[in-house]
Chain A
Amino acid sequence: MSIEATEERHALGHRMKRKEDPRFLQGQGRYVDDIAMPGMLFAAIARSPYPHATIKNIDISEAMKVPGVKAVITGKDLEAAGLGWLPTFHGYDKQMVLAIGKVLFQYQEVAAVFAETRGAAEDGAEAVQVEYEPLPVVADPFTSRKDEVILRPDREQKTNHIYHWEVGDKDGTARALESSAKRVSQRIWFQRCHPAPLEPCGCVAHFDAMGRLQFYVTSQAPHVYRTALALVTGIPEDKIHVVSPDIGGGFGNKVPVYPGYVCAIVGALKLGRPVKWIETRTENLTSTGFARDYHMDVELGADRNGRLTALRVSTAADHGAFDAAADPTKYPAGMFGVVTGSYDIPVAHAEVDAYFTNKAPGGIAYRCSFRVTEASYAIERAMDVLADELGLDAVELRRRNFIKKEQFPYPSALGFTYDSGDYHQTLDKALEMIGYQDLLKEQAEKRARGELMGIGISTFTEVVGAGPSKHFDILGIKMFDSAEIRIHPTGAGFVRAGTKSQGQGHETTWAQIVAEELGLDPQTIMVEEGDTDTAPYGLGTYASRSTPVAGAAIAVAARRVREKARKIAAHLLEVGEADVEWKDYKFQVKGVPAKTVTMKEVAFAAYTNPGPNEPGLEATNYYDPPNMTFPYGTYIAVVDIDRETGEVKVRRFLAVDDCGTVINPLVVEGQIHGGLTEGFAIAFMQEIQYDRDGNNLNTNFTDYLVPTSLETPHWETGNTVTPSPHHPIGAKGVGESPNVGSPAAFVNAVVDALAPLGVRHIEMPVTREKVWRAIQGGNVA
């Protein structure tokens, strides 16, 4: 079943095919690595095999002898130029560009080599001789917090503890838990994983004849890059032009600024030639922004009727060598406060303590709003643990505790104001679509025969669309977004936005918003993003913020265009402006339906016959959202487990989403399919593992798995529509919901299948080995 198209609308709600797809499907996308410039050099980076070691000496002489090598730079060179360290995005820490004095994680950047060919650059990097003196390795946050080895002596505070963050009523929660009739607690680890976009990160840096930096880069936030580069390098911001061309997937991985980018710029400046740096798959997996790595102790209290009384979550976060988590400044643990989920919990407390370890830095939001997937997984897993304890059906427990639709706007115990929702309706629709009662019957029969069948449910709520300027900023820049619309004389036009599509379909959906608001053909609205010389300033695309923020900016800008157009329409219709109304996608004289002008006619007049009005038809808007949006859904997984091998087969998976107004059902379904596939990968396959010596064990696609069509289950989708009351078109954003909501559904299904064997929890990734051990009665948590 697919999301229904809304026929009565002009452009919104239509299953328009993606305008960008012909380009991508014919191999005509233009990515950073497609860029070639005369005289272009290539950069490669020498990396540390040691997770923690003092650098005793770096000898570049052999590297300089490699034919084609033009220069080698080290951390000391950068330090001398004042470029030794980069600020991390939320501004509380800094990160070495190239190692200075010591290395802190395996595959850390140590030297950059510039050469005529990529091969020569790689050979040069291999020839850089580094003498290391190994230091003790700290490979987990629990060892780190003992402070026996201080990893970051460069910091003022001589501790591995980065921050303590908490929200909620600590004492009240403790009292409520104490007096609850039922209490459950569960340690839940959301493993370290990696977004692994198929296109790795890269850039081309070039100083043009005017001395202006032309910087082509795989960035989800090109404007922020421009400002960050100006701040770090001292190059005036007008002398920096950042372009994000087509991007082959980002998922949060392309939000941070990486050392390779700085090295390429320095190389281009030093050598006076363009420099390209494209990382390898291994470099991407081992050194760029990872996700999750939250160890969460979750406690839920309930009364005898299964009504929740309190929630407490205490988390140890592994941030790696630098605190490079891409979170808004005031939210070091992101939106983790949404851990109360879809439930009316009277009192709650959440705290996060983050620690340095000898692992790659990061903590980016892998296809989710900041730390929302961790939060969602914690509460949805804990709800099943509680249902098990209460002997209550997991669906019934959720139903009893949902925030009711009349409670919206709902102030959560941890400080969010949920905008809208009808959780019962969405749940009921999902149960009906999947045939829940029949599945329960089938399961009972199979259990009687000793077969392992599981039904897993996840009724998640996200918080996306960062965000209101009073709360949200990155490097001090408020998290608004922007749009500029220009309508040409023939009624075609373009929209530019501060966002940057990495596969989300902005070229289609942005055009549909403009077309809807102005009664124009979406096929003739061109969308342009990613060029800081032309697009208005925006904070970029991540955390499901594009539609909630930039989508709103586009709608508001379009309405401004319409207001201007109304004046011209009044001139054309020879009536006063107050007598003109916008109806059925046309301007008409109030009460005279025969007297109309179309937007196309108005557009022509704007340049040929504007009357007393200023010529032209364009508008800009910078949109500061009044609140976040709260998409939600009910996901149901059905699994069968082979007792002999531990193999889990996902027989069915249904996602019923409510993302508010649906701009394009086809694009929404595509987003859901992609997100579910990534959620499936996280649940069953993906983990960046480190051994206790700090070796990264998942450095390529043989060891870090990305599902193909062979492994991927068939996805069933459905939807309900509860518009956001504060968004101009009622949209909430959807790209990340499936990745946020699905891991819990998968794991809940596996645990449900294994429940007759006494299994209460199993850690992701749920591999065959873990399931097999659980069946054998082994420890799998």
Chain B
Amino acid sequence: MNLQYNGQEQIPADPATVWTFVKDPDQVGHCLPDLLELTVHDATHFDAVVRVGVGPVRGKFKFKFELQPDEAARRMNMKIAGGGFGSAVDLTAGAEILPAADAGKTILNWNGTAVMRGPVAAVGGRVLDAQAQKVIAQTFGNVRERLTA
């Protein structure tokens, strides 16, 4: 099952701050909703264990993250692979950092594609979209919160 999302978020911080933020595995990792464990390996690689609940598929999922920053374009690409409970999830995501019309604020143009396999797709298929929307909203909520804290 393939899911594709994209959107635009306004972040109450300047582009340079946001760019620094999204390049930091520790910062990005802590924006994940229901994070249980975060292990940062280097500047572009970290592992995260998160609690997942998609319909009856509930439990800990482990993900490997790889950050692929493009300094010139101020674009962050991300490869995420993992899963749990017999399911596999492969994600690619990208975010473009742009100055907002309001000085000191940033526009984040983002997109993501997720490929779900196993029970999370079969059993959770009916509620997967709603769950994905929720995770996305919570993630950006956490980004805003951490940048304005």
Contact = CB atoms under 8 A, between A and B. Distances in A.
B36 interface: no
B117 A51 contact: yes
Contacts of B90: 134
Q: Is the interface of A mostly helix, strand, loop or mixed?
A: loop
Interface in A695-733: 695-700, 702-703
Contact of A693 (B84, B117, B123): B117
B68 to A, nearest CB: 18
Given A282-B119, A695-B117, A699-B119, A49 B125 contact: no
A154 B37 CA distance: 41
Interface centre among A132, A695, A699, A703 (most CB of B within 10 A): A695
A700 B123 contact: yes
Contact of B122 (A47, A50, A134, A699): A699
B1 A49 contact: no
Given A693-B2, A693-B117, A49 B122 contact: no
A126 B86 CA distance: 7
Contacts of A699: 119, 122-123
A693 B87 contact: no
A106 B117 contact: yes
A394 B94 CA distance: 61
B83 interface: yes
Contacts of A126: 59, 84-86
Interface in B110-143: 115-119, 121-123, 125
Interface in B65-98: 83-88, 90
Given A49-B87, A49-B117, A126-B85, A693 B122 contact: no
A703 B123 CA distance: 8
Interface centre among A106, A107, A282, A703 (most CB of B within 10 A): A106
A696 B88 contact: no
A8 interface: no
Interface residues of A, number: 21
A698 B87 CA distance: 15
A693 B125 contact: no
Given A693-B1, A693-B2, A703 B122 contact: yes
Contacts of A696: 122
Contacts of B117: 49-51, 106, 693-695
A691 interface: yes
A698 B83 CA distance: 20
A49 B116 CA distance: 9
A695 B85 contact: no
Contacts of A47: 86
A698 B122 CA distance: 7
Contacts of B85: 126
Contacts of B86: 47, 49, 107, 126
A695 B88 contact: no
A604 B34 CA distance: 79
Nearest to A698: B122
Contacts of B115: 693
Nearest to A46: B86
Nearest to A62: B62
Kindly list the 7 A-B residue pairs having the minimum CB-CB distance in the complex, ordered from nearest: A49-B118, A49-B88, A49-B117, A695-B121, A699-B122, A697-B122, A49-B87
18 contacts: A49-B86, A49-B87, A50-B88, A50-B117, A51-B117, A107-B118, A126-B84, A126-B85, A132-B88, A282-B119, A691-B121, A693-B1, A693-B2, A695-B121, A695-B122, A697-B122, A699-B119, A702-B123
Interface of A: 47, 49-51, 106-107, 126, 132, 134, 282, 691, 693-700, 702-703
